[in-house]
Amino acid sequence: MIEWFKRLFGIGTNSTNSYKKMVNLILFGPPGSGKGTQAAKLVDKYGFLHISTGDLFRYEMGNDTPLGLEAKSFIEKGELVPDSITIGMLKNKVQANPDVKGYIFDGFPRTIDQSKALDQLMESLDQKIDKLIALSVKDEEIISRILERGKTSGRADDNDESIIRNRINVYNENTRQVYDYYDKKGVSSSVDGLGTIDEIFTRLTDVIDQV
Ligand code: UDP
Ligand code: MG
């Protein structure tokens, strides 16, 4: 009722003081599951802002910033960058881009604490996570995809099988439960991440168009 009223009269409590109907998605899945590839296609179709915390870290590392140097020590081992750093960086990016049709979060949240922080951030903007979509891909397929990507990505963490295996372990230990966290809120879905890029894209848009 309140949502309906706000939408009808175009009012709200966020910073711009106008209720905005945005669609906010988490693109979820293990490393190498195709999140970045699909996010780029979703941006073309829907005009959402793509926020990849991994890309943000690589930008900082490329510029040798203090944040980049700090992140690098974790990324080169395939470990998670600590929540306090990651959450702060994510908040800055979101708050710097308030006037968008929606956000696609890629590679974030990776822990339950990050999920709670994201929900609080969304609430502060009068927004919510509308959907989490997981790309489901088996471990062995992931490893071969990442090693293939490593030939051209220039990423040290894509070129060493033991680092890749550690990233998958971290995903299984710390990140997988983010799916259940949002499932309890009724917004998690999973699609088969195996197939052509266009087939997977259609699976994603079928879910998004129902939001
Ligand atoms: N990373 C992190 N937190 C994030 C995003 C990235 O700790 O929110 C680190 C982590 O070490 C991870 C690496 O950056 O292994 C690469 O992450 P990205 O999402 O870019 O790659 P993917 O895992 O999707 O291949
Ligand atoms: Mg990625």
Q: Which residue has the higher pLDDT, 60 or 4?
A: 60
d(CA 181, CA 196): 29
Report the CATH fold assignment for 2-10+22-208. Answer: Rossmann fold (3.40.50)
For residue 21, name the pLDDT band (cuts at 50, 70, 90).
Answer: confident
pLDDT of residue 47: 97
pTM of the model: 0.91
Residue among 76, 80, 90, 110 whose CB has most ligand 1 atoms within 8 A, to mutate: 80
d(CA 61, CA 166): 21
Q: What would the two tokens of residue 44 be? A: 């073309």
**Boundaries of every domain in the chain:** 2-10+22-208
The Å distance, Cα 75 to ligand 1 centre, comes to 7
Q: Which residues contact 114 (CB under 8 A, 6 or more apart)?
A: 83, 86, 87, 90, 108, 178
The Å distance, Cα 105 to ligand 2 centre, comes to 10
Nearest ligand 1 atom to alpha carbon 86: 8
Strand, coil or helix: 134: strand
